Structure 1
Amino acid sequence: MCNFSLAQISSPQASPRSKIFQKVGLVDISIDYSRPSKKERKIFGNIVPFNEVWRTGANQATAISFSEDVKVNSKLLKAGEYFLYSIPDSEKNGLSLIFYEKNKNWGALKEIDENKVLLNVFSSFITLPFTIETFTISINNISNNGATLDFAWDDQFISYNLDVMTTEKMKKQIDNVMSNNPTKNDLSSAAVFYLEENINIKQAMKWINLAYPDNKEHRYWQYRYKSLIYEKAGKMKKAIQYAKLGLDDAIKTGGPDGVNTLNRLNDRLLSAK
């Protein structure tokens, strides 16, 4: 008696699937897409025809999600999950990016149903001095308040501005916490955020002094925050004082990274004195 088994061959995909997760400010962004390759072909105007709907990738339609409201090229987009279609425009020389109601549609669309369009934004093509073999979506230039949503393939690059509106959200959050017995960490976090976003340095000084008062000893990174805030306020004598205290603590208790960081801060402050 013979036993036969059927072997299954697992072949590599022509357009492999890729998933991206990125935190920008307070917003979680996820992208799920497939990545076709150029393979010596001309892409826009050929493999991806001009003035026709493209699934912005291959295979299943590209999906993107935002955990909170954002702005794309200054236009508001509500939190949610969307299909990401696009239309290359030959006359405007750019790409219309369409955030589309997510449904059971698997891949390409023949035409756009305007009732399902949540947002439509446009950016121009930028011609690169080199070619990108495999279609790439990426989130770059990340800051507290935003990033860029970028697309690259062949010799073309397209970028859209993302505004995650962190400052407005953080100010509301900070106002709420400060009216309800803030902890030392709350005070420090609020002060550092105001420093980084250059909002109200006098208020940042008040909070950092409540968090780390002069009549107590603190850790080197806490002195560093105080020093940076006082430097921003133009109070260089105090900034140097806190930087030196921070360096002393880093030498006693910190590793080489802490010592190097405080050394650089001290050198910079003393050279600017």
Structure 2
Amino acid sequence: MKNYILIMALFVALTAHAQLSLPAQSPSANIKQTIGLTEVEISYSRPSARERTIFGDLLPYNEFWRVGANAATKITFSGDVFVGDQLLKKGSYSLLAKPGVQTWQLNWYTYSSGDWNDYVEAQPVVKLQVPVNKRGIVLESLELHFQDITMESTTLLLEWEQTRLEIPIRVDEKEQISADIIKTLAGPDIFDYYAAALYLHENQTELERALEYIQKVTESPKAMFFVVTREALILQDLGKDREAKKVAERALALSKKAENKDFIRINEKIINQ
């Protein structure tokens, strides 16, 4: 064991100082796929068989494998997904496998390191048993890819040599999509109006439209001090001084209540002008 550690340390040291660029034996790969509204990204390395027997020989059955080569395989989900029937929350995961003759155990861990050994003794977030299927022809290099893609599901295929695993992944986004549809069809919300008014005013363009948008927000008695101040500033730039002063008095009271000195000064200046 000491000799192994010494050899690895020497290898790392030599690699760090090497200037010669050579092709990787297990080149890295990165794939992305959208499922519904969720983005899935997989980063892994692709070892090749090179006339070796892989499963049950080079990779013994019932021992952990990193599902790739070099660093730990990393899978990132931009939203919550179900792997099989088990929930994986939004985030990044490392995937380790225990190959078997008829089934594989796939362990999903919260990603924390590129060193796959860090996960061997850790508690997986999800354990999944997946049956083994046989390919008709030999696949030289490990491949992860997606098939059978619908608006709410896909199959992640793990294939190498004559082994094929089908990992079902699905999303449940109906409620979110329904809420987005209702919100969008109902029209812009107050934040959209404020953002539009802010853009137009800061760029000194279409100030009448900027005023129309900001007043859709300030008509609410719950309008924030900085929003009401923006209305006063737009009125001032439009030359509507009397209206600007009245709105600034409201904004000043709100600014004092919020104890915001910057906006107190801005509104006092508008009133004095």
TM-score range, shorter chain: 0.5 to 0.7
Structure-2 change in CA distance of 1:168 and 1:42 (3 Å): farther
1:26 corresponds to which residue?
37
For residue 62 of structure 1, what is the amino acid of its counterpart?
Answer: T
Structure-2 change in CA distance of 1:110 and 1:30 (3 Å): closer
Deviation at 1:105, TM superposition (A): 5.1
For residue 95 of structure 2, what is the amino acid of its counterpart?
Answer: L
1:84 corresponds to which residue?
95
2:84 corresponds to which residue?
73
Structure-2 change in CA distance of 1:127 and 1:110 (3 Å): same
- Structure 1 runs (4+) greater than 4 angstroms displaced: none
**Structure 2 Cα separation of the partners of residues 89 and 7 of structure 1:** 39
Q: Percent identity?
A: 32
TM-score in terms of structure 2 length? 0.59
**Structure 2 Cα separation of the partners of residues 38 and 52 of structure 1:** 18
Specify every segment of 5 or more residues in structure 1 that has no aligned partner in the other structure, as ranges: 1-5, 183-273
2:23 is aligned with 1:16 = no
1:50 corresponds to which residue?
61
Deviation at 1:112, TM superposition (A): 3.3
Do the aligned partners of 1:68 and 1:79 also contact (CA within 8 Å) in 2?
A: yes
Specify every segment of 5 or more residues in structure 2 that has no aligned partner in the other structure, as ranges: 1-16, 189-273
1:112-123 equivalent positions in 2, closer than 5 A: 112-114=121-123, 117-123=124-130
2:108 is aligned with 1:99 = yes
Do the aligned partners of 1:15 and 1:35 also contact (CA within 8 Å) in 2?
A: yes
Task: Pick one of 20, 24, 40 that aligns with 2:51.
Answer: 40
Do the aligned partners of 1:54 and 1:108 also contact (CA within 8 Å) in 2?
A: no
Aligned residue for 1:28, secondary structure, equals strand
**Structure 2 Cα separation of the partners of residues 109 and 119 of structure 1:** 16
**Structure 2 Cα separation of the partners of residues 71 and 107 of structure 1:** 23
**Structure 1 Cα separation of the partners of residues 86 and 183 of structure 2:** 28
- Give the total of aligned pairs: 172
1:225-244 equivalent positions in 2, closer than 5 A: none
2:179 is aligned with 1:172 = yes
TM-score in terms of structure 1 length? 0.59
Deviation at 1:172, TM superposition (A): 2.7
Q: For the aligned residues, what is the CA RMSD?
A: 2.0
Query: Which structure features the higher share of helix residues?
Result: 2
Deviation at 1:67, TM superposition (A): 0.3
For residue 77 of structure 2, what is the amino acid of its counterpart?
Answer: F
Aligned residue for 2:22, secondary structure, equals coil
2:164 is aligned with 1:157 = yes
Structure-2 change in CA distance of 1:23 and 1:105 (3 Å): closer
CA displacement 1:152-176 (0-9 Å, x = unmatched): 0000100111112233331232233
Structure-2 change in CA distance of 1:7 and 1:145 (3 Å): closer
Task: Pick one of 168, 181, 191 that aligns with 2:187.
Answer: 181
**Structure 2 Cα separation of the partners of residues 86 and 25 of structure 1:** 27
Higher Cα radius of gyration: 2
CA displacement 1:185-243 (0-9 Å, x = unmatched): xxxxxxxxxxxxxxxxxxxxxxxxxxxxxxxxxxxxxxxxxxxxxxxxxxxxxxxxxxx
**Structure 2 Cα separation of the partners of residues 7 and 32 of structure 1:** 25
